[in-house]
């Protein structure tokens, strides 16, 4: 039934009647008030934006693709020695050349607020020697800010520190007081601060190592000092730094690094020998104790390291019974790293002398030592004889 069958025809719309009003919001007539929903306001779509590059994308999917492809859109960047710099402050401790620096896709570059042409930036950065400096790159997206802490030591300051470390060595007294005196006297060489910090960290750790091993107190707190010293001194091409890094690597059973880092024939020879054994290869069995001591290693090695170095250099021909007996006696007080060396040396000695039972005893002590896995595999047929 249509509305015309109900009498609603009497209510036909009369657009000339002023009481009938038509608007986009509602319809009001003399007969009814029928509200029409107001159209929703037009909302602009929110474009996802890359937090790294500051670039907006059409969809979240496009942003995700951009991220997965490594931010391939054009954005500024700074490269140092082949690697793009990160947002954290970068410590620069070695001299650099202009070719070590490269600016990528930057329209405007400023160093410490001073705007520079792109071609001048590498040379300017290579000329910096000290202090914290800020580099800002402007291009597509938001500006990118880099911070660099330049701590390059002057040669005259490094020489001054070397003079004082030789004086400390000549005094033949390694105590806390003598190390403190060394630190105080080297304050006159401010650009060599990291060099001094590395040397003093090693000296304090060497004292703690002697106390832990020879004093029977145990503990391994000294090891963090060794690692700190190797980290700081690894950037310096100086004889004392080379000696310390070689001794630390030897102590930590990093034999390849010890052989390549030190200038000492003795440390290098013993490290090459133990490294070859640990990797399952045979090495010279002759006496290594006659190798020259021509570097700082003899001066810097503490008593505990010196003892292990000497015992690791014995000949593997079965004639070092007294030295191996001393090594076995000291096993309980040795550091865990030095115990690995001791078991290797003792096992090789007993194999050479024909005492397979004693060799098995030392080999079994290394069953769970991952660094000697290849040695255990290689020596198994000899232990079965």
- Span 77-91, pLDDT tens digits: 888 887 888 888 888
Q: Count Cβ neighbours within 10 Å for each residue of 258-275 and write b for 16 or more, e otherwise.
A: bbebbebbbbbbbbbbbb
CA angle 254, 259, 264 (to 5 degrees): 130
Identify the residue whose tokens are 């890359």.
50
Integer CA distances (angstroms), 222 to 67, 73, 74, 205, in order:
44, 49, 49, 5
The answer on pLDDT for 144 being more than 80 is yes
Predicted pLDDT at 290: 55
Higher pLDDT, 156 or 41: 156
Can you name the residues that pair with 80 across neighbouring β-strands? 83, 101
Angle separating helix axes 176-185 and 193-214, nearest 10 degrees: 180
Question: Would you place residue 244 in the very low, low, confident or very high pLDDT band (cuts 50, 70, 90)?
Answer: very high
The answer on pLDDT for 313 being more than 80 is yes
Question: Would you place residue 215 in the very low, low, confident or very high pLDDT band (cuts 50, 70, 90)?
Answer: low
Q: How far apart are CA 312 and CA 298, in angstroms?
A: 15
Mean pLDDT of 117-134: 91
Mean pLDDT of 126-151: 88
Question: Would you place residue 156 in the very low, low, confident or very high pLDDT band (cuts 50, 70, 90)?
Answer: very high
Tell me which of 3-12, 218-227, 284-293 is least confident.
3-12
Q: How far apart are CA 235 and CA 362, in angstroms?
A: 38
User: Counting beta carbons within 10 angstroms of the beta carbon of residue 226, is it exposed (0 to 12), middle (13 to 18) or buried (19 or more)?
Assistant: buried
Mean pLDDT of 96-106: 89
Predicted pLDDT at 260: 82
Predicted pLDDT at 50: 75
Predicted pLDDT at 20: 47
Instruction: Tell me whether strands 26-28 and 21-22 are parallel, antiparallel or unpaired.
Output: antiparallel
Question: Would you place residue 284 in the very low, low, confident or very high pLDDT band (cuts 50, 70, 90)?
Answer: low
How many other CB atoms are found less than 10 A from the CB of residue 177?
A: 8
Its pTM stands at 0.69
Question: Would you place residue 72 in the very low, low, confident or very high pLDDT band (cuts 50, 70, 90)?
Answer: low
Integer CA distances (angstroms), 91 to 80, 157, 225, 320, in order:
12, 19, 21, 49
Predicted pLDDT at 361: 94
Tell me which of 14-28, 223-237, 311-325 is least confident.
14-28
Can you name the residues that pair with 33 across neighbouring β-strands? 28
Question: Would you place residue 64 in the very low, low, confident or very high pLDDT band (cuts 50, 70, 90)?
Answer: confident
Q: How far apart are CA 378 and CA 357, in angstroms?
A: 17
Asked if residues 258 and 243 have their Cβ atoms less than 8 Å apart, the reply is no
The answer on pLDDT for 19 being more than 60 is no
Predicted pLDDT at 28: 47
Predicted pLDDT at 213: 75
CA angle 221, 224, 228 (to 5 degrees): 150
Asked if residues 312 and 337 have their Cβ atoms less than 8 Å apart, the reply is no
Predicted pLDDT at 127: 92
Q: How far apart are CA 113 and CA 316, in angstroms?
A: 66
The answer on pLDDT for 250 being more than 90 is yes
The answer on pLDDT for 26 being more than 70 is no
């Amino acid at each position: 039934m249509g509305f015309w069958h109900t009498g609603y025809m009497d209510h036909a719309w009369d657009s000339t009647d002023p009481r009938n009003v038509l608007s986009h919001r509602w319809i009001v007539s003399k007969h009814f008030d029928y509200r029409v929903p107001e159209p929703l306001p037009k909302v602009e779509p929110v474009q996802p934006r890359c937090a790294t590059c500051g670039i907006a994308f059409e969809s979240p999917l496009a942003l995700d693709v951009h991220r997965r492809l490594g931010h391939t859109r054009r954005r500024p960047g700074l490269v140092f020695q082949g690697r793009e710099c990160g947002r954290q402050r970068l410590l620069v401790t070695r001299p650099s050349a202009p070719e070590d620096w490269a600016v990528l896709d930057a329209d405007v570059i400023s160093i410490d607020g001073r705007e520079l042409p792109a071609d001048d930036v590498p040379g300017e950065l290579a000329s910096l020697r000290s202090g914290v400096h800020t580099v800002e790159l402007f291009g597509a997206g938001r500006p990118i800010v880099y911070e660099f802490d330049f701590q390059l030591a002057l040669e005259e300051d490094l020489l001054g520190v070397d003079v004082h470390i030789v004086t400390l060595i000549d005094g033949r007294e390694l105590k806390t007081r003598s190390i403190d005196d060394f630190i105080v006297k080297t304050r006159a060489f401010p650009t060599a601060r990291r060099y001094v910090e590395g040397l003093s960290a090693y000296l304090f750790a060497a004292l703690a190592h002697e106390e832990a091993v020879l004093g029977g107190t145990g503990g391994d707190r000294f090891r963090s000092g060794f690692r700190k010293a190797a980290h700081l001194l690894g950037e310096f091409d100086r004889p004392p730094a080379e000696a310390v890094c070689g001794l630390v690597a030897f102590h930590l059973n990093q034999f390849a690094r010890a052989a390549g880092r030190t200038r000492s024939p003795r440390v290098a020879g013993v490290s090459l020998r133990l490294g070859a054994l640990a990797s399952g290869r045979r090495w010279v069995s002759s006496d290594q104790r006659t190798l020259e001591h021509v570097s700082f290693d003899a001066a810097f090695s503490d008593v505990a390291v010196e003892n292990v170095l000497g015992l690791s250099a014995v000949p593997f021909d079965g004639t070092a019974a007294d030295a191996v007996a001393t090594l076995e006696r000291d096993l309980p007080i040795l550091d865990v790293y030095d115990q690995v060396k001791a078991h290797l040396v003792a096992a090789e000695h007993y194999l050479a002398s024909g005492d397979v039972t004693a060799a098995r005893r030392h080999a079994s002590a290394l069953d769970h030592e991952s660094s000697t896995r290849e040695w255990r595999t290689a020596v198994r047929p000899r232990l079965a004889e």
